[in-house]
Structure formats: C-alpha cells, structure tokens
Structure 1
Amino acid sequence: MKTRVHAIALGVAAAVLGTSAFAADSDEERIKKLEQQVTVLQAQQKSADPLDRFHINGFASVGMGIASEDLGYAGYKDDDVHFSPDSMAALQVSFDINSKAQAVVQIVARGEDDWDPEFEWAYVSYQFDNGVTARGGRLRAPVFMLSDYLEVGYAYSFARPSVEVYESLPISTLDGFDLRIPVALGDTTLTFQPFVGETTIEADNLENDTDVDNILGLAVELDWSDFNFRTSYATSELKEESESSIVDGADGTFLGFGAGWDNGDWVVMGEWTRIEVDGLYPDTDSYYVSAGYRYNDLTPYVMVSGLESQDDDERAIPIPGIRSSADIERMSYSLGLRWDFAAGMAVKFDATLVDDFGDTSGGFPANSVALPVGGGSTIPVVAPDAIKIDDVALYSVVFDVIF
C-alpha cells in the first residue's frame, strides 16, 4: 500500500515539476513539497480504511454468592455457593457508516442462561444536523435510570440494580424505533426520548411466551449541574396463547420517576415505579434509594428497596386466612463496599437482607401451596400461618471490568 501511495505522490510531483513555477524551486524545496504530498495522501488512505471505522469494547462481571434460604432471590436458589446469577460477559461492536450514521451490535452472554449469547443491541442510528438522533432495531427499553447501561456493573456503585424495581418489569429490550431530542436550556439539557416497538417475555413462571405488542412510550431526562432527573411512561398490549392465561389481551402501563446526585464524592440515586396490568395480574409499586461515598478507591454504600402489590382485593379468595400468591409485599436492605483496585476494574462486597413479607408470599413461589379449585385444577395461594420462609440473607462478591 505504501508503494502505491508513493507512486501516486511521485506522479503528482512530476506533474507539478513540469510547471515553470516549480522548476524555479531548489532541490531542497522540491523534496519538502514531495514529502508533504506523501503525508496528505497517506492520511487520506488511512481515513478511507474501513477497519478504522470499527470500534470494539466490552464489559463483564464475575460473581459468587450464597443465600441463607432457597427463595431464588436475585437468582440464588439454595444455600450453596453459586457463580452464575451475577456473572455475564458482553462485546459491543460499532461501525461508523459515515459521519452521521452508525451501526451498533451488542452481544451478551449470561451465566444464569448457560452462557448462551443473545443480541441485546442491534440497531442503526443517524444524527441529524439539529442534534436529533434516530435509532431503529433492537434497543434497550428506556424506562429506568440505568436502562442504557443496565448490565455494565462497573458503571454503578452497588453490586446489582435493585431487584425489587428492576425485576418487577420482565423486559429490558424492544424491537422498534426511538428518537433522542436534546433541548438546551441555558446550562441545563432536557432530552425527550419517544419510542415504539414490541418484544416477547420468554416463558418462565408463565405457561407460554407472552408477546408485548404496541409499545408506545416517552422518557424525559433533565441534566442540571450535579443532578439528573428522569421520568418515563409507556403503554402496551399483552398476548399469551393459553386457555388459562390471566394476561392475554390485557393492557399494561408503566410509570417511573428517578433522580440522582453525584458531586464526585457522594453518589445518591433513587427510583419509584408503578406497573399496572388489567385483570388478575398484580399491579405493583416499587422503589429504591441508594447512597455511597467515594473515599479514594473505596465506596461504601447502602440501599433500601421495597415492592408491594396494589390491587390485592381483585384477587380476594373467599376462604378465611387464604390469600393469592400474587399478593406481594417485601423490603430489602443492602450494605456494601466497592473497591476500585485497578483501572477499569472493581470488586464489590455486598450483604442484603430481604424480609417484611407481611402475610404474603413476598413474591416467591416457594412460599405458596396449591389449592384445588375443582376439575383437577389448582391455584397457588398463601396461608399466612404456614409461610415457609419469612426472610432471606444474601452474601455476594462481584468483580466488574470494562475493556
């Protein structure tokens, strides 16, 4: 390639040498001009190289933990040491199509899914001259404060996002389109993010996969000094092909508010969400508040989270002392320490206590029993005086890295 560039440069120089102006130059000046031509052509050749338009980075977490009870909280299902629930690895590749357009692919493999790779992001974006960015493809559902970097553990102080808030919504991505519309207001930036799309909730506790169609929403984010505020609202329609489905044809709505403060030393964050689904599926309110203080390479932190169903009367069972297992109430309290022991690497030590279930299952199937309702059918219920487990403690260590 260098030979070709030099040949082109020599050809250009030869053409210039034929002019009377260049003929009057000294040999030293001729050599200097030739070197300048070579430098320009090499720079042009480099900028045209497609490999220079690729950008590759990634992140990973390796965790280990043990729970005091077999409730499945945060993915820890018994009192043995497990390494899968908090472990994952991701690779992100972006390609600059031109100065305004970009293609992005992010592949994530999670330990709890047997390390099967999945496309978490796969979209094309285009930035207009007015600063508006349009994206289409597979995107993160932009409903939470941490949505854009949900699994980048290195990006936040705590070991994992609040289970009560972030696992109450069983989707994290959607296939569709969104816009990012920034509006400058003095020293403040207000960003509007409308989005549309669809996704699927893969069967776990449900009998079949659930399609989430006609997602339509708007997120609004305000950045001001050390503060960040975010609110989001979305609607959707649920479809599940099952005769016993309690969500097929139901409309679902999401409402969320969040705020954060980071002055370099203190980092404080909190969110509140409400999820409503027509019918017997529980409507829930959830929240968390976290605070951490950076002291050199150490960041001790605390987090308090809560989750509670709001429509228990719609699932009332006409048997004294019996409640639907979908009635949920619980709190969690986390205390931890983050240590940034090397550039791009951190380790977090976390202890979390989950309790205050009231007379509900706490949202854990292990606390429910099957109640016969005739015809060979059963429904999961809770008898408050027969709750098997009323609290669980989780101790974990998580290593986070970005590269």
Structure 2
Amino acid sequence: MKKAFIMLPLAVACASQFVMAATTDSQRLAQLEQQLAILQEASAYDSLSDRMSINGFFTGKVGVASNDAGYNGYDKDADFSEGSKLGLQGTFALTEQTNIVAQLVARGNDDWSTEMEWAFLSHDFDNGFTARFGRLRVPLYMYSDYLEVGYAQPWASPPSELYSIVPLTSFDGVDVIYDFDMSDVAVTLQASYGHADRDTGEKLGEVDYKDILGASASFSYENWVFRTTYYQTTLDTTKDGQIPQFFNDEQSYFAGVGLSYDDGSLLAIAEFAVSDVEGNYADTESGYITLGYRISDFTPYVTYAFLETTDDSERNPAYKPSFDWKRNAYSIGTRYDISSNLALKADVTYATDFGDTSGGLEPNLDGVQNQINDDTLVYTLSFDAVF
C-alpha cells in the first residue's frame, strides 16, 4: 500500500509528461498543416500570376482647329477629350496553347465610358494555325491590331481619310490565323466570320452588320511588309436615326492594300482602299503615304492623304450633301521617344480641296446642307504610353 502510494506521484508525473507530449505533437501537426496550407495557397497564387499578364496603354491628346469644319473631331476650341483613351488588356493562360484575352477601352470623347473592345478565346495548334472565338478586331488596315495603341503608331492620329471610312472596329465571331514561312518570306493568312451591331450616329442610327466575311494576307521580307485585305457584309438599319431605314439589307465590301518599309532609320508606309455600299451611302477611294526618318529619339514625318467618293452621279440629290466627299490632307509632324514606353507627338494637318462637298465632315454643313468651309488647319499634341 505504501509502495503503491510512493509510486503514485511518479505515475502522475509520467502521465502528465505523456499528455504534454501528446499536446505538443498535436500542436506541431496543426502548425505543419497550417504551414502546408499557406505554402499551397502561395503556390497557387504564384501559379495564377504566372498564367496571367496585364498590360495597358494611355493616350492623352489635345487638338484645336482654325475653324469649325470638324476635321478629326476638332474645332476652334481646344479639345482634350477627343482622341484621349485608356486601355487595359489581360491574358490568362488556360493551358500552354489556350488563352483568354480581354481588352477594355475607355474613351474621352465618350465621357470615358468603358467598352469591351476584345474578348476572345484563342487556341494555338502545333501546325501554325490559331483559332479565336469571341469579340475580335476587324483586320482592315495595316495598323488594325494597334488601332487603339497610339504608342505603336508613328502619327499623332492615323490618317482619317482611310482609317475612318469603316465606322466599325470589332465584331463578334470567329477567325483563323495561319503563320508559315515561304523561303525567306514570313506569311500570315487570316480569315474571319461574324456580325456586329453598332450605333453609327444620329444621322444613320443603329446598324446591323450581318455576315461579316473576309480574309487578309501579310507578307514580310527583311524590312518590307506587304498586306492585302477584302471584307464584305450586309447592312441593315435596326433603329432609325435622322434618316429612317437608311440601310435595308444593302451589300457592301472593303478592299485594301498596304506596303511598308522600315530599316530602323527610314520609315515609309502607304495604304490604298476602295469601299462600295449599295444605295445612297458613299462609295470611296482613299489612301495615304507617310515618310519618316529617325534621328536619335526624334522621328519627323510627312503624310499626304486623300479621300473621294466615286458614285456622286448615282446618288439621290437629297443625300448628296451628306455623302458626296472629297478632300486632300497634308501633314507634318514629329515623334519624340521620351523613354522605351513613352512618346510625345506633335502634328499640323492642312485639309483642303473639298470641291463643292463638305469634305466628308458632317459639322461642315449648315442647316440647309451647304458647305461652310472649303479647308481647315488642325494642330494636335499627343502623349502616348504603354505599361
């Protein structure tokens, strides 16, 4: 009995140590599990960040004109919103070959409201083909893929004589791109199909671009790039503007060619296009040529551009003031690369030779549809950044 009494404290002590050891192991296990969860979560975050990339662009622009003709949206009052924009583009890699791409753009001339310019799923096959589905860019011009990114363009503003002919920048649909090499020539072929609904302004209202179908081809050799494109669609008014039911399943097409040369110093770009729309809307021929030369961080350039409608004699006289167009534009400007992602551009453009038309400028018509100005001078300053 005494012996048992003597052993009791030892047993209690051993039991206490066992309980303490068990508690310590439990706590250590819980700590290890917590650390493992933190590591797994951090690994998941690292993996997510590796699969996602976000970049953006910004253009801050101010312009003023010698009169109120409305060239590039400018009049006699300095405008800081026309042409200014902010964009964000995100790419998320679902797999090594499949990506989701989205681009949001907010424009100053639209009260900085945000629009989804791109939103598509892209899959790269192993044989040079890429398929994309969703909201895509309409690839009409040499700079279509960089139409929103001012930093990627040599000008303060792309020549509107060509780049404003089609009031549509994106569509909902599918395209297929095929890249391959033909000897020393890099070839890119692209075919697209889809549709778009767009508000084209107060005059024409909302328009449905049905069955957008077309293709483009680009050929790159050393410092040269040649590009050609053809697209067609059917136009139908879905909500009337000032002109009721202006489009009623009218067929239209756009065909263009472009050529550029860039050896790091000399820069030369030229594009030409024809557009045709059934009915009373303007059929056009338009184009431009730009020559520039890089001197250190500066790239001075000159541009000549033209626009002319080709169906004036066929148009209903009631629509002639709005859709008879003619003008020539002469620009001189320079680009200064502040850093690897910042550029400052200055441009002076003289638009003239309107003939007896508005020059294709809607503000240049008075209340009885007569021409107000037969030329205009526009000054533009642009700050472009990518990040």
Partner residue in 1 for 2:346: 349
Task: Count how many residue pairs are aligned between Structure 1 and Structure 2.
Answer: 352
Partner residue in 1 for 2:382: 398
Contact 1:237/1:249 (8 A) holds in 2:
yes
Which one-letter code corresponds to 2:257 in the other structure? F
Report the Cα offset of residue 244 of structure 1. Answer: 2.8
Equivalent residue in structure 2 for 1:57, among 48, 55, 58: 55
Contact 1:92/1:105 (8 A) holds in 2:
yes
| 1:73 matches 2:71 | yes
| 1:263 matches 2:260 | no
Report the Cα offset of residue 361 of structure 1. Answer: 1.5
Report the Cα offset of residue 75 of structure 1. Answer: 1.5
Report the Cα offset of residue 363 of structure 1. Answer: 1.2
Q: 1:47 to 1:317 in 2, by over 3 A?
A: closer
Q: 1:230-249, aligned counterparts within 5 Å?
A: 230-241=227-238, 242=240, 244-249=244-249
Equivalent residue in structure 1 for 2:92, among 85, 91, 95: 95
Partner residue in 2 for 1:229: 226
Partner residue in 2 for 1:166: 163
Q: For the residues of structure 1 that align with 2:36 and 2:108, how far apart are their CA atoms? A: 54
SS in 1 for 2:249: coil
Q: For the residues of structure 1 that align with 2:32 and 2:57, how far apart are their CA atoms? A: 40
| 1:368 matches 2:352 | no
SS in 1 for 2:139: coil
Q: For the residues of structure 2 that align with 1:366 and 1:103, how far apart are their CA atoms? A: 41
Report the Cα offset of residue 4 of structure 1. Answer: 6.9
Which one-letter code corresponds to 1:389 in the other structure? N
Q: 1:110 to 1:7 in 2, by over 3 A?
A: closer
Percent identical residues? 38
Give the 4+ runs in structure 1 shifted more than 4 A. 2-8, 44-48
Which structure 2 segments of 5+ residues have no match? 1-30
Q: 1:130 to 1:4 in 2, by over 3 A?
A: farther
SS in 2 for 1:250: strand
| 1:290 matches 2:282 | no
Report the Cα offset of residue 211 of structure 1. Answer: 0.6
Superposed CA deviations along residues 154-198 of structure 1, whole A, max 9, x for unmatched, are 112110111110111100101000011112111211111000011
| 1:215 matches 2:212 | yes
Report the Cα offset of residue 396 of structure 1. Answer: 1.2
Q: 1:362 to 1:279 in 2, by over 3 A?
A: same
Q: 1:323 to 1:277 in 2, by over 3 A?
A: closer
Q: 1:375-394, aligned counterparts within 5 Å?
A: 380=369, 382=370, 387-394=371-378
Q: For the residues of structure 1 that align with 2:99 and 2:34, how far apart are their CA atoms? A: 29
Q: For the residues of structure 2 that align with 1:187 and 1:3, how far apart are their CA atoms? A: 59
Report the Cα offset of residue 65 of structure 1. Answer: 1.4
Superposed CA deviations along residues 277-300 of structure 1, whole A, max 9, x for unmatched, are 001111011101111111110110
Partner residue in 2 for 1:107: 104
Report the Cα offset of residue 90 of structure 1. Answer: 0.3
SS in 2 for 1:240: strand
Q: For the residues of structure 2 that align with 1:192 and 1:312, how far apart are their CA atoms? A: 35
Which one-letter code corresponds to 2:110 in the other structure? D
Contact 1:315/1:324 (8 A) holds in 2:
no
Report the Cα offset of residue 358 of structure 1. Answer: 1.0
Which deviates more, 55-64 or 358-367?
358-367
TM-score, normalised by the number of residues in structure 1:
0.83
Q: For the residues of structure 2 that align with 1:146 and 1:333, how far apart are their CA atoms? A: 20
Contact 2:325/2:359 (8 A) holds in 1:
yes
Which one-letter code corresponds to 2:166 in the other structure? L
Q: For the residues of structure 1 that align with 2:187 and 2:36, how far apart are their CA atoms? A: 53
Superposed CA deviations along residues 223-263 of structure 1, whole A, max 9, x for unmatched, are 11101111010110011044833322100101010111110
TM-score, normalised by the number of residues in structure 2:
0.86
Superposed CA deviations along residues 83-115 of structure 1, whole A, max 9, x for unmatched, are 011210000010000010000010000000100
Q: For the residues of structure 2 that align with 1:187 and 1:167, how far apart are their CA atoms? A: 34
Partner residue in 2 for 1:152: 149
Report the Cα offset of residue 369 of structure 1. Answer: 4.7
Partner residue in 1 for 2:310: 310
Q: For the residues of structure 2 that align with 1:186 and 1:258, how far apart are their CA atoms? A: 21
Equivalent residue in structure 1 for 2:193, among 193, 196, 211: 196
Contact 1:226/1:263 (8 A) holds in 2:
yes
When Rg is computed on C-alpha atoms for both structures, the one with the higher figure is 2
Which structure 1 segments of 5+ residues have no match? 9-40, 372-379
SS in 1 for 2:220: strand
Q: For the residues of structure 1 that align with 2:147 and 2:226, how far apart are their CA atoms? A: 17
Superposed CA deviations along residues 60-82 of structure 1, whole A, max 9, x for unmatched, are 00011111111221121x21111
Q: For the residues of structure 2 that align with 1:369 and 1:349, how far apart are their CA atoms? A: 31
| 1:132 matches 2:116 | no
Which one-letter code corresponds to 2:384 in the other structure? D
Q: 1:369 to 1:184 in 2, by over 3 A?
A: same
SS in 2 for 1:204: coil
Partner residue in 1 for 2:119: 122
Q: For the residues of structure 2 that align with 1:106 and 1:143, how far apart are their CA atoms? A: 19
Q: CA RMSD in A?
A: 2.4
Report the Cα offset of residue 3 of structure 1. Answer: 6.3
Q: For the residues of structure 2 that align with 1:392 and 1:334, how far apart are their CA atoms? A: 12
Contact 1:197/1:213 (8 A) holds in 2:
yes
Q: For the residues of structure 2 that align with 1:191 and 1:55, how far apart are their CA atoms? A: 25
Q: For the residues of structure 1 that align with 2:302 and 2:312, how far apart are their CA atoms? A: 30
